[in-house]
Structures are given as C-alpha cells and as structure tokens.
Amino acid sequence: MDEPDWAIQEMKGWIGGVTVVWDGGTRVFEVYDPVRLAQTVALEIEQIGRFTAKNLLVVPSVTRENIETAISAIADRGFRAY
C-alpha cells in the first residue's frame, strides 16, 4: 500500500488480511488499534453475543511501522505463542 492507503487504515483503526510468510508457514493477522477493537468488541457482543478473532494483533495505531515492529517481535519468538 502507498502512504495515502496507510493513512486511511490508520484512521479506520483496523486492517484485515495482513499475511506473513516465513520458513515455517503462513499466518494471516487481523490488526486493530485499541479504540477500534473496543468498539468492534462492544458492537459484536451487542449484536451476536460474542466476539472472536483469529490471530488478533493490537498495536497503538494501525501504521506500517507499528505492524512491522509487532510482527518482527512475534517472528523473533518463532510465532509459537500466536
């Protein structure tokens, strides 16, 4: 994505389908900022009584830099706990 696209994602507070490929496999993350995550959780609980998310990643704000930093930290642990 280019800078304007990243600016839109940061304003939205989430991005889905962040695919990470490494020697051991592939993982697709849903990335949220804390405010948007709280809104999404509240809405889904109100509407369907639960919230679920596979491979949820929460960062301070949805920027390329924050996502890359978080993914790098997870990769350093071998994606084991995620």
Q: What is the mean pLDDT of the chain?
A: 91
- CA gap 47, 13 in Å, rounded: 20
Q: What is the pLDDT of residue 9?
A: 92
Q: Is the pLDDT of residue 74 over 80?
A: yes
Query: In the chain, how long is the greatest CA-to-CA distance?
Result: 40
Which residues on neighbouring strands pair with residue 29, listed in sequence order?
Answer: 18
Q: What is the pTM of this model?
A: 0.85
For 22-54, write each residue's pLDDT tens digit: 887 888 999 999 999 999 999 999 999 999 988
Provide the pairing of β-strand 56-58 with 14-22: unpaired
Cβ–Cβ < 8 Å for 14, 32: yes
